[in-house]
Amino acid sequence: MNKEPITKSGVEVLKAELHKLTHEDRPRIIQAIAEAREHGDLKENAEYHAAREQQGFAEGRIAEIEQRLGKASVIDPLAVNADGRIVFGATVTMVNVADDSEVCYQIVGVDEADIKVGKVSYQSPIARAMIGKEVDDDAVVPAPGGAITYEILKIEYV
């Protein structure tokens, strides 16, 4: 089984979702199914079918989260001897040399990536361009409109 890197915060988010699904959603859905069964004929019982569909989604998500947690390899950037280089979990502030716009990204696991909040997957082109670089280095990111060059301003290990 291949291990997937994930940050500590990513594991906590998955555990919180799993707890909610197993301790809140699952019992609520089971109760809804029981109440729908009391209404009689199950073939034409829309409430019953809706509750069973919810149960299928919830159980599928529970299985997915359990699988992800099972193959997760938690990486703490503070524990890695990064020696001032960009590593998995690092938060990097950079400036686009073409237009002087500043961006800040944290390199995270595939499941945690959300560009809207500044989290990029370690497999993304921008993360691959950053990994191993140091402050004042340039990271050249391939893009559909041509390569974008960023100068690394700051590296934080959170």
Strand partners, 140: 149
**CATH number of residue 19's parent domain:** 1.10.287.180
**CATH number of residue 139's parent domain:** 3.10.50.30
**Domain contains 81:** no
Domain endpoint, select from 42, 74, 106: 74
Domain count for the chain: 2
Residue 127's domain comprises: 90-157
The pLDDT assigned to 1 comes to: 60
Span 60-89, average pLDDT = 91
**Domain contains 139:** yes
The pLDDT assigned to 6 comes to: 94
Query: In terms of domains, do 101 and 144 share one?
Result: yes
How many CA atoms does the CB half-sphere of 75 hold within 13 Å? 19
What are 45-57's pLDDT values in tens digits? 788 888 889 999 9
| Backbone Cα Rg of the chain | 22
**Cβ neighbourhood burial of 124 (10 Å; 0-12, 13-18, 19+):** middle
Strand partners, 95: 102, 151
**Domain contains 83:** no
Summary count for the chain: helices (H), strands (E): 4, 7
What are 6-43's pLDDT values in tens digits? 999 999 999 999 999 999 999 999 998 888 888 776 67
Query: In terms of domains, do 69 and 130 share one?
Result: no
**Domain contains 82:** no
Query: In terms of domains, do 106 and 145 share one?
Result: yes
Query: In terms of domains, do 149 and 103 share one?
Result: yes
Query: In terms of domains, do 17 and 65 share one?
Result: yes
Task: Please count the other Cβ atoms lying within 10 Å of the Cβ belonging to residue 144.
Answer: 4
Cα–Cα dist 129/144, whole Å: 15
Please check the confidence at residue 153 and state whether its pLDDT lies above 80: yes
The pLDDT assigned to 76 comes to: 87
Contact 158, 106 (CB under 8 A): yes
Nearest to 108 by CA among 13, 2, 1, 19: 13
